[in-house]
Amino acid sequence: MTIATIKDVARRARVSTKTVSRVINQESAVHAETRARVLQAIDELHYRPDLSARSLRSAKAYAIGLVYDNPNPHYIISVQAGVLSACREMGYGLQIHPCDSTSPTLARELSELVHRARLAGLVLAPPMSEHLELIRVLAEGNIPLVRILSAAEDPADGYACVFVDDRDAAYDITEHLVQLGHTRIGFLWGGKKHRSSPERFKGYEDALRYYGIPLDKQLIIEGDYTFDDGFRGARQLFKLRDRPTAIFGSNDEIAAGVLAAARVAGLNVPYDLSIAGFEDSPFSRQSWPALTTARQATDAIAREAAQLLIAQLRPEGPRPANKGFSPELVVRGSTAPPRPQESLQEKL
Protein backbone atom coordinates (compact mmCIF):
# COMPACT_ATOMS: atom_id res chain seq x y z
CA MET A 1 0.00 0.00 0.00
CA THR A 2 1.39 3.39 -1.06
CA ILE A 3 1.48 6.03 1.68
CA ALA A 4 0.28 9.43 0.51
CA THR A 5 2.63 12.39 0.84
CA ILE A 6 2.00 16.11 1.16
CA LYS A 7 2.95 16.42 -2.53
CA ASP A 8 0.19 13.95 -3.44
CA VAL A 9 -2.32 16.04 -1.53
CA ALA A 10 -1.12 19.25 -3.19
CA ARG A 11 -1.35 17.65 -6.64
CA ARG A 12 -4.91 16.41 -6.09
CA ALA A 13 -6.11 19.69 -4.54
CA ARG A 14 -4.32 21.71 -7.26
CA VAL A 15 -2.45 23.86 -4.74
CA SER A 16 1.12 24.27 -3.51
CA THR A 17 2.58 22.13 -0.73
CA LYS A 18 2.87 25.32 1.33
CA THR A 19 -0.91 25.79 1.11
CA VAL A 20 -1.45 22.21 2.25
CA SER A 21 0.87 22.88 5.17
CA ARG A 22 -1.12 26.00 6.09
CA VAL A 23 -4.36 24.02 6.09
CA ILE A 24 -2.82 21.27 8.25
CA ASN A 25 -1.53 23.90 10.69
CA GLN A 26 -5.00 25.51 10.75
CA GLU A 27 -3.65 28.90 9.76
CA SER A 28 -6.32 31.50 9.02
CA ALA A 29 -4.80 32.89 5.79
CA VAL A 30 -6.37 30.26 3.51
CA HIS A 31 -9.51 30.85 1.43
CA ALA A 32 -12.47 28.74 2.60
CA GLU A 33 -12.95 27.08 -0.80
CA THR A 34 -9.26 26.21 -1.02
CA ARG A 35 -9.26 24.86 2.54
CA ALA A 36 -12.25 22.63 1.75
CA ARG A 37 -10.53 21.29 -1.39
CA VAL A 38 -7.36 20.46 0.53
CA LEU A 39 -9.28 18.76 3.36
CA GLN A 40 -11.19 16.69 0.80
CA ALA A 41 -7.91 15.60 -0.80
CA ILE A 42 -6.47 14.70 2.61
CA ASP A 43 -9.55 12.59 3.35
CA GLU A 44 -9.58 10.86 -0.03
CA LEU A 45 -5.88 10.00 0.14
CA HIS A 46 -6.00 9.07 3.85
CA TYR A 47 -3.03 11.39 4.34
CA ARG A 48 -1.56 11.60 7.85
CA PRO A 49 1.07 14.27 8.58
CA ASP A 50 4.40 13.13 10.05
CA LEU A 51 4.19 15.21 13.21
CA SER A 52 7.70 14.49 14.43
CA ALA A 53 9.23 15.48 11.08
CA ARG A 54 7.03 18.56 10.94
CA SER A 55 8.32 19.68 14.36
CA LEU A 56 11.95 19.17 13.29
CA ARG A 57 11.46 21.22 10.11
CA SER A 58 9.73 24.04 11.93
CA ALA A 59 10.47 26.28 14.87
CA LYS A 60 7.00 25.39 16.10
CA ALA A 61 6.29 22.20 18.10
CA TYR A 62 3.40 19.98 17.04
CA ALA A 63 3.05 17.65 20.01
CA ILE A 64 1.75 18.10 23.55
CA GLY A 65 2.35 16.15 26.73
CA LEU A 66 -0.14 14.56 29.13
CA VAL A 67 1.23 14.34 32.67
CA TYR A 68 -0.47 12.19 35.32
CA ASP A 69 -0.02 10.31 38.58
CA ASN A 70 -3.15 8.36 39.44
CA PRO A 71 -3.79 4.80 40.73
CA ASN A 72 -7.12 4.54 38.86
CA PRO A 73 -6.53 2.89 35.45
CA HIS A 74 -10.04 3.68 34.17
CA TYR A 75 -9.51 7.38 34.85
CA ILE A 76 -6.15 7.42 33.07
CA ILE A 77 -7.47 5.54 30.02
CA SER A 78 -10.38 7.98 29.73
CA VAL A 79 -8.09 11.02 30.07
CA GLN A 80 -5.74 9.65 27.42
CA ALA A 81 -8.63 8.96 25.04
CA GLY A 82 -10.02 12.48 25.45
CA VAL A 83 -6.69 14.26 24.92
CA LEU A 84 -5.77 12.01 22.01
CA SER A 85 -9.05 12.68 20.19
CA ALA A 86 -8.41 16.44 20.35
CA CYS A 87 -4.80 16.00 19.19
CA ARG A 88 -5.82 13.91 16.19
CA GLU A 89 -8.51 16.36 15.21
CA MET A 90 -6.21 19.38 15.47
CA GLY A 91 -3.06 17.88 13.95
CA TYR A 92 -0.95 17.36 17.07
CA GLY A 93 0.96 14.41 18.45
CA LEU A 94 0.69 13.25 22.05
CA GLN A 95 3.33 12.10 24.52
CA ILE A 96 2.16 10.35 27.70
CA HIS A 97 4.24 11.00 30.80
CA PRO A 98 3.41 9.20 34.07
CA CYS A 99 5.32 10.64 37.02
CA ASP A 100 5.62 10.83 40.79
CA SER A 101 3.64 13.87 41.92
CA THR A 102 5.56 13.96 45.23
CA SER A 103 9.00 14.21 43.62
CA PRO A 104 10.89 17.32 44.77
CA THR A 105 12.44 17.59 41.28
CA LEU A 106 9.16 17.34 39.36
CA ALA A 107 9.29 20.89 37.96
CA ARG A 108 12.76 20.28 36.53
CA GLU A 109 11.69 16.88 35.18
CA LEU A 110 8.74 18.38 33.31
CA SER A 111 10.75 21.32 32.00
CA GLU A 112 13.38 18.92 30.64
CA LEU A 113 10.63 16.76 29.12
CA VAL A 114 9.17 19.73 27.23
CA HIS A 115 12.54 20.79 25.79
CA ARG A 116 13.88 17.29 25.11
CA ALA A 117 10.71 16.08 23.36
CA ARG A 118 10.00 19.47 21.72
CA LEU A 119 6.52 19.67 23.24
CA ALA A 120 4.31 22.68 22.58
CA GLY A 121 2.74 22.48 26.05
CA LEU A 122 1.35 20.24 28.79
CA VAL A 123 -2.03 18.99 29.99
CA LEU A 124 -1.68 18.36 33.71
CA ALA A 125 -4.01 15.84 35.36
CA PRO A 126 -4.59 15.73 39.13
CA PRO A 127 -2.79 15.91 41.49
CA MET A 128 0.00 17.83 39.64
CA SER A 129 -2.61 20.22 38.30
CA GLU A 130 -3.45 21.24 41.88
CA HIS A 131 0.12 22.08 42.97
CA LEU A 132 0.14 25.86 42.53
CA GLU A 133 3.87 26.20 43.17
CA LEU A 134 4.60 23.69 40.39
CA ILE A 135 2.28 25.61 38.07
CA ARG A 136 4.08 28.88 38.84
CA VAL A 137 7.51 27.40 38.11
CA LEU A 138 6.37 25.93 34.78
CA ALA A 139 4.65 29.17 33.80
CA GLU A 140 7.76 31.19 34.65
CA GLY A 141 9.64 28.85 32.30
CA ASN A 142 7.23 29.88 29.50
CA ILE A 143 5.70 26.40 29.26
CA PRO A 144 2.06 26.60 28.07
CA LEU A 145 -0.19 24.41 30.19
CA VAL A 146 -3.78 23.60 31.04
CA ARG A 147 -4.86 22.00 34.31
CA ILE A 148 -7.66 19.53 34.99
CA LEU A 149 -8.72 20.12 38.57
CA SER A 150 -11.50 19.73 41.10
CA ALA A 151 -13.10 23.06 42.02
CA ALA A 152 -16.60 24.32 42.77
CA GLU A 153 -15.94 27.34 40.53
CA ASP A 154 -13.31 28.84 38.26
CA PRO A 155 -10.30 29.56 40.51
CA ALA A 156 -9.57 32.67 38.38
CA ASP A 157 -5.89 32.52 39.38
CA GLY A 158 -4.51 33.45 35.98
CA TYR A 159 -3.68 29.89 34.91
CA ALA A 160 -5.75 28.02 32.32
CA CYS A 161 -7.86 25.12 33.57
CA VAL A 162 -10.85 22.86 33.09
CA PHE A 163 -12.55 22.51 36.47
CA VAL A 164 -14.93 19.84 37.77
CA ASP A 165 -17.51 20.58 40.47
CA ASP A 166 -17.07 17.41 42.55
CA ARG A 167 -18.52 19.12 45.62
CA ASP A 168 -21.95 19.72 44.10
CA ALA A 169 -22.12 16.17 42.73
CA ALA A 170 -21.16 14.69 46.13
CA TYR A 171 -23.89 16.82 47.71
CA ASP A 172 -26.41 15.32 45.26
CA ILE A 173 -25.33 11.76 46.09
CA THR A 174 -25.58 12.35 49.84
CA GLU A 175 -28.91 14.12 49.45
CA HIS A 176 -30.22 11.14 47.48
CA LEU A 177 -29.27 8.81 50.34
CA VAL A 178 -30.80 11.13 52.96
CA GLN A 179 -34.04 11.41 51.01
CA LEU A 180 -34.25 7.62 50.90
CA GLY A 181 -34.29 7.74 54.71
CA HIS A 182 -30.64 7.12 55.59
CA THR A 183 -29.18 9.05 58.51
CA ARG A 184 -26.16 6.81 59.22
CA ILE A 185 -24.10 7.34 56.05
CA GLY A 186 -20.48 6.25 55.98
CA PHE A 187 -17.94 8.15 53.90
CA LEU A 188 -14.76 6.59 52.50
CA TRP A 189 -12.10 9.10 51.44
CA GLY A 190 -9.96 8.88 48.34
CA GLY A 191 -6.31 9.92 48.48
CA LYS A 192 -5.83 13.25 50.24
CA LYS A 193 -3.16 14.33 47.75
CA HIS A 194 -6.02 14.71 45.26
CA ARG A 195 -8.11 17.87 45.65
CA SER A 196 -11.18 15.89 44.53
CA SER A 197 -11.16 14.03 47.87
CA PRO A 198 -11.75 17.05 50.16
CA GLU A 199 -14.14 18.52 47.59
CA ARG A 200 -16.27 15.36 47.65
CA PHE A 201 -16.10 15.27 51.44
CA LYS A 202 -17.29 18.90 51.61
CA GLY A 203 -20.28 17.99 49.46
CA TYR A 204 -21.10 15.10 51.80
CA GLU A 205 -20.64 17.33 54.84
CA ASP A 206 -22.75 20.17 53.38
CA ALA A 207 -25.66 17.84 52.61
CA LEU A 208 -25.68 16.37 56.13
CA ARG A 209 -25.59 19.88 57.60
CA TYR A 210 -28.45 21.06 55.40
CA TYR A 211 -30.65 18.15 56.49
CA GLY A 212 -29.74 18.55 60.16
CA ILE A 213 -27.83 15.26 60.46
CA PRO A 214 -24.86 15.45 62.87
CA LEU A 215 -21.44 14.58 61.41
CA ASP A 216 -20.23 11.36 63.07
CA LYS A 217 -16.45 11.01 62.75
CA GLN A 218 -16.73 7.26 63.35
CA LEU A 219 -18.44 6.98 59.97
CA ILE A 220 -15.58 8.69 58.10
CA ILE A 221 -12.65 6.50 57.02
CA GLU A 222 -9.46 7.70 55.32
CA GLY A 223 -7.95 5.77 52.44
CA ASP A 224 -7.04 5.96 48.78
CA TYR A 225 -8.89 5.60 45.48
CA THR A 226 -8.56 1.79 45.42
CA PHE A 227 -10.75 -1.31 45.63
CA ASP A 228 -8.71 -2.63 48.57
CA ASP A 229 -9.24 0.53 50.62
CA GLY A 230 -12.96 0.35 49.89
CA PHE A 231 -13.04 -3.23 51.16
CA ARG A 232 -11.00 -2.43 54.29
CA GLY A 233 -12.95 0.75 55.02
CA ALA A 234 -16.28 -1.05 54.79
CA ARG A 235 -15.09 -3.84 57.10
CA GLN A 236 -14.06 -1.20 59.62
CA LEU A 237 -17.49 0.44 59.47
CA PHE A 238 -19.22 -2.93 59.88
CA LYS A 239 -17.53 -3.31 63.28
CA LEU A 240 -19.32 -0.28 64.72
CA ARG A 241 -22.08 -0.89 67.27
CA ASP A 242 -24.33 1.54 65.42
CA ARG A 243 -23.43 0.63 61.86
CA PRO A 244 -24.19 2.70 58.75
CA THR A 245 -27.14 1.84 56.56
CA ALA A 246 -25.43 3.47 53.56
CA ILE A 247 -21.83 4.04 52.45
CA PHE A 248 -20.61 6.68 50.00
CA GLY A 249 -17.28 5.72 48.40
CA SER A 250 -15.28 8.60 46.92
CA ASN A 251 -15.00 6.76 43.62
CA ASP A 252 -16.50 3.67 41.99
CA GLU A 253 -13.44 1.54 42.69
CA ILE A 254 -13.86 2.21 46.41
CA ALA A 255 -17.60 1.52 46.13
CA ALA A 256 -16.89 -1.79 44.38
CA GLY A 257 -14.67 -2.73 47.33
CA VAL A 258 -17.55 -1.88 49.68
CA LEU A 259 -19.86 -4.11 47.63
CA ALA A 260 -17.40 -7.01 47.92
CA ALA A 261 -17.14 -6.50 51.70
CA ALA A 262 -20.93 -6.46 51.97
CA ARG A 263 -21.10 -9.80 50.12
CA VAL A 264 -18.52 -11.33 52.47
CA ALA A 265 -20.55 -10.07 55.45
CA GLY A 266 -23.74 -11.60 54.04
CA LEU A 267 -25.46 -8.25 53.51
CA ASN A 268 -28.10 -7.78 50.85
CA VAL A 269 -27.37 -4.67 48.78
CA PRO A 270 -29.34 -2.39 48.68
CA TYR A 271 -31.81 -3.59 51.34
CA ASP A 272 -29.31 -4.17 54.16
CA LEU A 273 -26.81 -1.60 52.89
CA SER A 274 -27.01 1.10 50.22
CA ILE A 275 -23.79 1.89 48.34
CA ALA A 276 -22.90 4.86 46.15
CA GLY A 277 -19.73 5.66 44.23
CA PHE A 278 -18.46 8.45 41.99
CA GLU A 279 -17.29 8.77 38.33
CA ASP A 280 -19.53 6.24 36.49
CA SER A 281 -16.63 3.93 35.67
CA PRO A 282 -17.04 0.32 34.43
CA PHE A 283 -17.01 -0.73 38.12
CA SER A 284 -20.34 1.03 38.58
CA ARG A 285 -22.03 -0.39 35.49
CA GLN A 286 -20.72 -3.97 35.64
CA SER A 287 -21.26 -4.69 39.34
CA TRP A 288 -24.39 -6.38 40.65
CA PRO A 289 -26.39 -4.50 41.58
CA ALA A 290 -25.14 -1.63 39.43
CA LEU A 291 -23.87 1.28 41.51
CA THR A 292 -25.53 4.62 42.10
CA THR A 293 -22.84 7.16 41.19
CA ALA A 294 -22.05 10.56 39.67
CA ARG A 295 -21.44 10.49 35.94
CA GLN A 296 -18.18 12.30 35.27
CA ALA A 297 -17.43 12.69 31.56
CA THR A 298 -13.67 12.23 32.00
CA ASP A 299 -12.92 11.86 28.29
CA ALA A 300 -14.90 15.03 27.45
CA ILE A 301 -13.14 16.92 30.27
CA ALA A 302 -9.71 15.83 29.00
CA ARG A 303 -10.64 16.64 25.41
CA GLU A 304 -11.68 20.14 26.45
CA ALA A 305 -8.36 20.59 28.28
CA ALA A 306 -6.38 19.61 25.16
CA GLN A 307 -8.46 21.89 22.95
CA LEU A 308 -7.93 24.74 25.40
CA LEU A 309 -4.16 24.17 25.35
CA ILE A 310 -3.94 24.01 21.56
CA ALA A 311 -6.10 27.13 21.24
CA GLN A 312 -3.58 28.93 23.48
CA LEU A 313 -0.78 27.99 21.11
CA ARG A 314 -2.29 29.88 18.18
CA PRO A 315 -1.17 33.48 17.92
CA GLU A 316 -4.45 34.73 16.46
CA GLY A 317 -7.74 35.09 18.32
CA PRO A 318 -8.68 35.85 21.95
CA ARG A 319 -7.45 33.78 24.87
CA PRO A 320 -9.99 30.96 25.42
CA ALA A 321 -11.94 30.94 28.69
CA ASN A 322 -11.72 28.26 31.37
CA LYS A 323 -14.57 25.76 31.30
CA GLY A 324 -16.40 23.94 34.09
CA PHE A 325 -18.09 20.53 34.23
CA SER A 326 -20.68 19.22 36.71
CA PRO A 327 -20.98 15.44 37.21
CA GLU A 328 -24.60 14.23 37.23
CA LEU A 329 -26.27 11.89 39.71
CA VAL A 330 -27.05 8.44 38.26
CA VAL A 331 -29.41 6.36 40.41
CA ARG A 332 -29.06 2.59 40.03
CA GLY A 333 -29.92 -0.54 41.96
CA SER A 334 -27.37 -0.23 44.78
CA THR A 335 -29.43 2.31 46.79
CA ALA A 336 -32.83 1.89 48.45
CA PRO A 337 -34.62 2.93 51.67
CA PRO A 338 -33.03 1.39 54.79
CA ARG A 339 -34.44 -1.58 56.64
CA PRO A 340 -35.23 -1.15 60.35
CA GLN A 341 -31.92 -0.89 62.23
CA GLU A 342 -32.79 -3.86 64.44
CA SER A 343 -32.92 -6.12 61.39
CA LEU A 344 -29.50 -4.94 60.22
CA GLN A 345 -27.94 -5.39 63.67
CA GLU A 346 -29.18 -8.98 63.80
CA LYS A 347 -27.71 -9.73 60.35
CA LEU A 348 -24.29 -8.36 61.26
CATH number of the domain where residue 38 is located: 1.10.260.40
Contacts of 296 by beta carbon, 8 Å cutoff, 6+ apart: 164, 169, 278, 279, 280, 325, 327
277 located within any domain = yes
Question: 3-state class of 181 per DSSP?
Answer: coil
Same domain, 71 and 127: yes
Task: Give pTM, 2 decimals.
Answer: 0.75
- Dihedral of CA atoms 74, 80, 81, 83 in degrees, nearest 10, equals 140
Same domain, 279 and 175: yes
Percent of the chain with pLDDT over 90: 49
Tens-digit pLDDT profile for residues 301-332: 999 999 999 888 876 656 778 999 999 999 99
Range of the domain at 31: 6-49
Same domain, 135 and 180: no
Same domain, 158 and 307: yes
- By residue count, the chain amounts to 348
Same domain, 191 and 226: yes
CB atoms within 10 A of CB 47: 18
Tens-digit pLDDT profile for residues 167-214: 999 999 999 999 999 999 999 998 888 889 999 999 999 999 999 999
Q: How far apart are CA 129 and CA 140, in angstroms?
A: 16
Number of domains within the chain: 3
